[in-house]
Amino acid sequence: MRVVKRINHNAALLVNDKGTELVALGKGIGFPDGPDEVSLAQIERTFYNVDARYLPLLNEIDPKVMEFSAQIADVARTNISRELSANLPFTLADHISFAIKRCREHMFVQMPLSCDVQQQYPIEFKIAMLAHAGIEREFGISMPRGERAGIALCIVNSVMASSSKAKSNDVRREERLIEKLVAIIEKDLAIAVDRDAFDYARYDTHVRYLLERVRTGEPLNTDNAALYRPLCEEHPAIAACVDKMAEVIEETYHASIVPEEKVYLMLHVNRVYAGNVTGKVPADK
Among 99, 134, 162, identify where a domain stops.
Answer: 162
Per-residue confidence (pLDDT) for residue 221, from 0 to 100? 63
- Same structural domain, 98 and 44: no
- Same structural domain, 174 and 275: yes
Tell which wins on pLDDT, 159 or 254: 254
- Same structural domain, 88 and 173: no
Q: What is the pLDDT of residues 22-34, one digit of tens each?
A: 999 998 888 887 7
Is residue 159 over pLDDT 70?
yes
Compute the average pLDDT of residues 48-70.
92
- Same structural domain, 153 and 198: no
Per-residue confidence (pLDDT) for residue 180, from 0 to 100? 96
- Same structural domain, 138 and 40: no
Measure the CA dihedral 195/188/283/281, to 10°: -10
Tell which wins on pLDDT, 92 or 170: 92
Question: Which CATH number do you get for residue 265?
Answer: 1.10.1790.10
Is residue 281 over pLDDT 50?
no
55 occurs within a structural domain: no
- Same structural domain, 124 and 202: no
129 occurs within a structural domain: yes
54 occurs within a structural domain: no
Is residue 212 over pLDDT 70?
yes
- Same structural domain, 21 and 66: no
53 occurs within a structural domain: no
Compute the average pLDDT of residues 198-218.
81
Among 162, 179, 210, identify where a domain stops.
Answer: 162
| Calpha distance 138→151 (Å, rounded) | 16
Among 162, 197, 231, identify where a domain stops.
Answer: 162
Alpha carbon of residue 228 to chain centroid: 22
| Calpha distance 120→99 (Å, rounded) | 23
Tell me what percent of the residues of the chain surpass a pLDDT of 70.
Answer: 87
Compute the average pLDDT of residues 168-183.
84
The domain in which residue 15 lies consists of 2-48
- Same structural domain, 206 and 252: yes
Compute the average pLDDT of residues 165-180.
74
Compute the average pLDDT of residues 106-126.
75
Q: What is the pLDDT of residues 63-79, one digit of tens each?
A: 999 999 999 999 999 99
Least confident of 65-79, 120-134, 184-198, 220-234: 220-234
- Same structural domain, 100 and 124: yes
- Same structural domain, 185 and 263: yes
72 occurs within a structural domain: yes
Per-residue confidence (pLDDT) for residue 285, from 0 to 100? 35
- Same structural domain, 157 and 175: no
- Same structural domain, 111 and 138: yes
Per-residue confidence (pLDDT) for residue 195, from 0 to 100? 85
Question: Which CATH number do you get for residue 8?
Answer: 2.30.24.10
Is residue 165 over pLDDT 60?
no
Compute the average pLDDT of residues 144-173.
74
Alpha carbon of residue 1 to chain centroid: 30
38 occurs within a structural domain: yes
77 occurs within a structural domain: yes
Contacts of 182 (CB under 8 A, 6+ apart): 193, 195
Is residue 251 over pLDDT 90?
yes
Q: Tell how strand 21-25 and strand 11-15 pair up.
A: antiparallel
Q: Please, what is the average pLDDT of the chain?
A: 85
174 occurs within a structural domain: yes
Domain count, the chain: 3
